[in-house]
């Protein structure tokens, strides 16, 4: 074996039904005295409940998807004015992303309390959008110092968004199988992530209020993010990044539509990925397992249903081709990528 794997320094706490106590204890461990609480308006009430026992709390609720630069700058100004010493974020990937934008320039520690399965809380990747162009980067300053997971906080996430967000997490696992820096540790975590996410998602599809199903899905989302943080972005994420950035498509749903197409494209040329994913999904062929799961979950199927037009396929193909990740198992050409995106746009079965 020849590989180097870096485990990132982060404290992770699972505290179902106990986020308020968990966050208070973690902020105290960081010696925090003035907390800037970041939460979108719709999660503000929930966040205030979690912040009940925190010292010096100031709430800032201006959150927007993909962190527009002016939104980041206003949050940084509030952090400075409040003389915050800890950031607590309560929300999905957009809220965690805002906390990361503040940490990037201030170095403040983040205690992240995720309420979706996006997984941003376990990565050192930040993203900012300016004039429609999304820039991302990696910086250890933005890696939340602590993550507090409380499955109860995801009970209010609508089932369609829960499913799409859970498949977004599964996409982290599947792309981790062949992303440029993928190593055996990432692939082991990703396999367990797929297994856990599949079980959790089927359970919450049957009963969105099932706490154990929510816990499983959250745990799988964490595993997926750890694998992804180490392995990096593969073909699937490259495609979704281009689609999301260019056409402002909804993040989680775009991942849910594209994932089976990338798996069908790559799995035949990656035996280890095929074996691991099929094993995790308890099926003969990985693609059959994923499509059966997506059918059972009634996951979104077509990019055209998310607001993309047929004319937008060709420019997206060009942009993906211009920045292909290294080492993709299947050679990507103009023709096969156009077919992949057209199939995803139409919602065809990739088999
Ligand atoms: P999101 O944070 O935009 O949330 C989606 C919607 O769900 C919002 O309207 C939000 O208010 C609502 N919501 C969140 N939690 C809820 C709850 N518990 N109950 C009810 N409603 C709730 O979406 P997301 O998919 O979590 O995150 C997407 C963003 O995260 C994108 O910008 C993406 O690029 C970023 N992301 C970054 C990384 C990274 O490593 N940097 C990883 C994954 C995602």
Phi/psi at 151 (nearest 5 deg)?
-60, -25
* Beta carbon of 97 within 6 Å of any ligand 1 atom: yes
Q: How far is the CA of 335 from the centre of ligand 1 (A)?
A: 33
CA of 118 to the centre of ligand 1 (A): 6
Q: Which residues contact 233 (CB under 8 A, 6 or more apart)?
A: 175, 179, 180, 241, 325
Is the pLDDT at 132 greater than 80? The verdict is no
Contact between 252 and 217 (Cβ < 8 Å): no
Instruction: Specify the pairing of strand 11-14 against strand 146-149.
Output: parallel
Ligand 1 midpoint to CA 351 (Å): 30
DSSP 161-221: HHHHHHHHHHHHHHHHTTSTT--HHHHHHHHHHHHHHHHHHHHHHH-TT-HHHHHHHHHHH
pLDDT in tens, 8-54: 999 999 999 999 999 999 999 999 999 999 999 999 999 999 999 99
Mean pLDDT of the chain: 97
What DSSP letter does each residue of 97-155 carry, written as one string?
A: HHHHHHHHHH---EEEEESSS--GGG--EEEEEETTEEEEEE-GGGS-SEEEE-GGGGT
- pLDDT value for 131: 82
The C-alpha atoms of residue 348 and residue 340 are separated, in whole angstroms, by 10
Q: What's the pLDDT at 133?
A: 78
The tokens for 350 are 């990739």
What mean pLDDT do residues 331-347 have? 98
The pLDDT confidence band at residue 274, using thresholds 50, 70 and 90, is very high
User: Which whole number is the average pLDDT over 83-100?
Assistant: 98
Q: How far is 25 from 19, CA to CA, in rounded Å?
A: 10
Check pocket membership of 118 for ligand 1, CB cut-off 6 A.
yes
> Residue 271 and residue 252: Cα distance in Å, rounded?
27
The pTM of the full predicted model, rounded to 2 decimals, is 0.96
- Ligand 1, atom 10, lies closest to the CA of 92
pLDDT value at residue 122: 98
Task: Tell me which residue has its CA closest to atom 40 in ligand 1.
Answer: 120
* Confidence band, pLDDT 50/70/90 cuts, at residue 245: confident
């Amino acid at each position: 074996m020849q590989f180097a794997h870096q485990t990132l320094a982060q404290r992770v706490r699972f505290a179902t039904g106990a986020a308020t106590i968990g966050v208070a204890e973690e902020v105290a461990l960081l010696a925090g005295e003035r907390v800037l609480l970041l939460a979108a308006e719709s999660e503000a009430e929930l966040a205030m409940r979690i912040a009940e026992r925190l010292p010096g709390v100031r709430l800032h609720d201006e959150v927007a998807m993909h962190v527009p630069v002016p939104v980041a700058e206003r949050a940084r100004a509030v952090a400075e004015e409040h003389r915050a010493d800890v950031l607590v974020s309560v929300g999905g990937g957009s809220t965690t992303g805002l906390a990361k934008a503040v940490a990037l320039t201030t170095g403040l520690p983040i205690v992240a309390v995720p309420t979706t399965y996006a997984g941003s809380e376990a990565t050192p990747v930040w993203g900012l959008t300016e004039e429609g162009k999304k820039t991302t980067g990696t910086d250890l300053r933005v890696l939340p110092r602590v993550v507090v997971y409380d499955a109860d906080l995801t009970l209010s996430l609508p089932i369609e968004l829960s499913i799409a967000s859970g498949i977004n997490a599964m996409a982290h696992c599947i792309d981790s199988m062949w992303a440029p820096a993928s190593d055996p540790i990432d692939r082991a975590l990703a396999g367990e992530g797929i297994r856990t996410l599949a079980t959790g998602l089927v359970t919450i599809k049957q009963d969105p209020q099932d706490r154990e199903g929510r816990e499983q899905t959250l745990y799988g989302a964490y595993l997926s993010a750890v694998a992804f943080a180490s392995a990096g972005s593969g073909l699937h994420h490259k495609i979704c990044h281009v689609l999301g950035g260019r056409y402002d498509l909804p993040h989680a749903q775009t991942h849910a539509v594209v994932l089976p197409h990338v798996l069908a494209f790559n799995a035949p040329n990656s035996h280890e990925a095929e074996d691991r994913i099929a094993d995790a999904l308890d099926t003969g062929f990985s693609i059959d397992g994923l499509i059966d799961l997506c059918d059972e979950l009634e996951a979104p199927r077509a990019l055209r249903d998310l607001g993309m037009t047929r004319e937008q396929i060709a420019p997206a193909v060009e942009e993906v081709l211009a920045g292909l990740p290294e080492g993709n198992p299947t050679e990507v050409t103009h023709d096969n990528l156009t077919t992949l995106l057209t199939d995803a746009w139409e919602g065809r079965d990739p088999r």
